[in-house]
Amino acid sequence: MKQLFNIGARRLALATLAASAFGTGAQAATITISCGSVGQDFEFCKKFTSEWARKTGHEVKLFTIPNSTTDILALFRQMFAAKSTDLDIVNVDVVWPGVIKDHLLDLKPYTKGIEKEHFPAIVANNTVDGKLLAMPWFTDAGVLYYRKDLVEKYGAKPPTTWEELATTAKTIQDGERAAGNKDFQGFVFQAKAYEGLSCGAVEWIHSYKGGNVVNDKGEITINNPGAVKALKTAASWIGTIAPQGVLNYAEEEARGVFQNGNAAFMRNWPYAWSLGNGADSKVKDRIGVSALPRGGVDGQNAATLGGWQLAVSKYSKNAEAAASLVLYMTSPEVQKERAIKGSYNPTIVSLYKDKEVLAANPFFGSLFEVFTSAVPRPATATGAKYPEVSSAFWNATHDVLSGKATAEDSLRKLEARLKQVKRNQW
Ligand code: GLC
């Protein structure tokens, strides 16, 4: 009896609180959000969502998701198919708007035009049939991390071509192993069979002027000499400057090796900068960041465009409160703090002139062009079929890297497979 009374009293107190925070009629809502689980994603999510909850009187629940984007998409697609109301806010990879468009709410009625402050290309990417399906949250581009101290110790320079990278990585690897670190690796990157490998392969192929798998007109372009050269080059790293294990590395595995002081070079996204300079990092203050190398002297620099957005599920029962949280999470204040403390690249153009943001992440300034001219994966051209295209592409790449197929054979087969996926149109 006493317990019942207590619960009743607590309800009453909460109801009074909610009434004062929401005025008459409005109710406190519980919003469930998924925010990622790579690096510091979860910690930041907790911090900023609870700030919003404190300010608004709403409640927030965090929803744990896998760390591979490929697995996250599979999970969300299952939930959407079931019209699940379990998730109000979903994080959306830059390559997904065309894939999950039918399940996201148009945010235009809520934004009051604030999206104009963000990179127009990202806003365009998130706009399908005139609907703004997701607010840009952070952008990403592949960069090259290197050990400044070791490059200097071996009298080398940060490499500007993949060929130079291979030579320098081998010199440093041989030297460090001879000096006693048997686990030392020249180069670590993501070569597991998942979306991250598609990102890396787009970079290699583009850098050798081998195009973008499917061009803007929707034509399948992957079977070409530049692409063959790129995949052969990448395959030559496995077991020489990169451990066999990279064939199973995603972002976090590569970061673990580099941050432990066991690699000279690493391909990763900007989030690794802040963690690499964290108090517990063995390479704190010894990291340089540059553009990824060109494919030979005639090649070009290429970084794949990545990044995440926040969107409201169409099946949410609390669309208005969910949209308010999305706007808070993507606001200049939150993007600024995430940039300074977590090296997440803002999507708000003016933050690239912010002194504190640049002081925390000098490469946001020096590599500004890398971020603004990053190469998109062929997601727009292939629309809802992008996941199939990408998985065919990463599998074909993985076969070459693991020595199961030659680059020529694998790309010929991939071309045929993509024709099947396309049939008459994407
Ligand atoms: C990063 C990028 C994302 C990409 C993923 C691949 O999270 O932001 O766009 O798909 O890496 O692993």
What is the band of 21 on the pLDDT scale with cuts at 50, 70, 90?
low
Task: Report the pLDDT value the prediction gives residue 138, as an integer from 0 to 100.
Answer: 98
- Rounded mean pLDDT, 22-51: 88
Query: What SS3 class is residue 260?
Result: coil
**Distance (Å) from CA 196 to ligand 1 centroid:** 6
The CATH T-level fold of domain 7-133+306-368 is: D-Maltodextrin-Binding Protein; domain 2 (3.40.190)
With a cut of 50, say whether residue 309 has pLDDT above it: yes
Terminal alpha carbon distance of the chain: 64
- Looking from the CA of residue 68, the nearest atom of ligand 1 is 12
Take residue 353 and report the two structure tokens written for it: 């002139």
Task: Report the pLDDT value the prediction gives residue 22, as an integer from 0 to 100.
Answer: 58
Task: Report the pLDDT value the prediction gives residue 196, as an integer from 0 to 100.
Answer: 98
Where do the domains of the chain lie?
7-133+306-368, 143-304+375-422
Q: Which residues, including other chains, have CB under 8 Å from residue 164's CB and lie 6 or more apart?
A: 293
Take residue 23 and report the two structure tokens written for it: 């005025």
Q: Return d(Cα 426, Cα 423) in angstroms, integer.
A: 7
Residue 306 Cβ < 6 Å to ligand 1 = yes
With a cut of 90, say whether residue 5 has pLDDT above it: no
Using an 8 Å Cβ cutoff, are 151 and 168 in contact?
yes
Q: Return d(Cα 190, Cα 292) in angstroms, integer.
A: 14
With a cut of 50, say whether residue 361 has pLDDT above it: yes
Take residue 137 and report the two structure tokens written for it: 């949250």
With a cut of 70, say whether residue 10 has pLDDT above it: no
Beta-carbon count within 10 A of 222 CB: 26
- Percent pLDDT > 90 in the chain is 92
Query: What SS3 class is residue 190?
Result: coil
Q: Return d(Cα 352, Cα 289) in angstroms, integer.
A: 17
Residue 269 Cβ < 6 Å to ligand 1 = yes
Beta-carbon count within 10 A of 46 CB: 13
Nearest Cα neighbor of 206 from 81, 304, 274, 87 is: 304
Q: Return d(Cα 213, Cα 202) in angstroms, integer.
A: 8
**Distance (Å) from CA 67 to ligand 1 centroid:** 10
With a cut of 70, say whether residue 19 has pLDDT above it: no
- Looking from the CA of residue 94, the nearest atom of ligand 1 is 9
Find the farthest-apart pair of alpha carbons in the chain and give their distance in angstroms, rounded. Answer: 82
Task: Report the pLDDT value the prediction gives residue 400, as an integer from 0 to 100.
Answer: 99
Q: Which residues pair with 398 in a beta bridge?
A: none
- Rounded mean pLDDT, 379-408: 98
With a cut of 50, say whether residue 8 has pLDDT above it: no
What confidence tens digit (pLDDT) does each residue in 68-97 have?
A: 999 999 999 999 999 999 999 999 999 999
Instruction: Classify residue 420 by its DSSP letter.
Output: H
Task: Report the pLDDT value the prediction gives residue 35, as an integer from 0 to 100.
Answer: 87
Residue whose Cα lies nearest atom 6 of ligand 1: it is 196
Q: Which residues, including other chains, have CB under 8 Å from residue 356's CB and lie 6 or more apart?
A: 336, 340
| CB burial readout 265-299, b (16+ within 10 A) else e | bbbbbbbbbbbbbeeebebeebbebbbbbbbbeeb
Using an 8 Å Cβ cutoff, are 264 and 144 in contact?
no
Residue 196 Cβ < 6 Å to ligand 1 = yes
- Looking from the CA of residue 194, the nearest atom of ligand 1 is 12
Q: How far is CA 337 from CA 47, 272, 393, in A?
A: 11, 16, 36
What confidence tens digit (pLDDT) does each residue in 130-160 have?
A: 999 999 999 999 999 999 999 999 999 999 9
Task: Report the pLDDT value the prediction gives residue 3, as an integer from 0 to 100.
Answer: 41
Using an 8 Å Cβ cutoff, are 263 and 243 in contact?
no
What is the band of 18 on the pLDDT scale with cuts at 50, 70, 90?
very low
Sequence-ordered alpha helix ranges (H) in 238-331: 251-259, 271-276, 319-329
Take residue 346 and report the two structure tokens written for it: 């803002």
Residue whose Cα lies nearest atom 4 of ligand 1: it is 306
Average predicted confidence (pLDDT) for the chain: 94
Helix axes 225-237, 195-207, angle to 10 degrees: 120
Residue whose Cα lies nearest atom 9 of ligand 1: it is 306
Task: Report the pLDDT value the prediction gives residue 7, as an integer from 0 to 100.
Answer: 40
Residue 41 Cβ < 6 Å to ligand 1 = no
Take residue 358 and report the two structure tokens written for it: 């640049």
Q: Return d(Cα 221, Cα 210) in angstroms, integer.
A: 8
**Distance (Å) from CA 100 to ligand 1 centroid:** 16
Q: Return d(Cα 348, Cα 343) in angstroms, integer.
A: 14
Residue 88 Cβ < 6 Å to ligand 1 = no
CATH 3.40.190.10 fits 143-304+375-422, yes or no: yes
Residue 36 Cβ < 6 Å to ligand 1 = no
Nearest Cα neighbor of 87 from 98, 102, 103 is: 103
Residue 210 Cβ < 6 Å to ligand 1 = no
Task: Report the pLDDT value the prediction gives residue 9, as an integer from 0 to 100.
Answer: 42
What confidence tens digit (pLDDT) does each residue in 266-294 have?
A: 999 999 999 999 999 999 999 999 999 99
Pocket probe for ligand 1: among 140, 255, 347, the residue whose CB has the most ligand atoms within 8 Å is 140
Residue 307 Cβ < 6 Å to ligand 1 = yes
What confidence tens digit (pLDDT) does each residue in 25-38 have?
A: 568 999 999 988 89
Instruction: Classify residue 247 by its DSSP letter.
Output: G
With a cut of 80, say whether residue 20 has pLDDT above it: no
What confidence tens digit (pLDDT) does each residue in 200-258 have?
A: 999 999 999 999 999 999 999 999 999 999 999 999 999 999 999 999 999 999 999 99
Classify residue 296 as left (phi > 0), alpha (psi -120 to 50) or beta.
Answer: left
Strands 263-268 and 143-147: antiparallel
Task: State which H helix or E strand residue 13 sits in.
Answer: helix 2-22
Task: Report the pLDDT value the prediction gives residue 4, as an integer from 0 to 100.
Answer: 39
**Distance (Å) from CA 307 to ligand 1 centroid:** 6
pTM: 0.94
Residue 176 Cβ < 6 Å to ligand 1 = no
Residue 93 Cβ < 6 Å to ligand 1 = yes
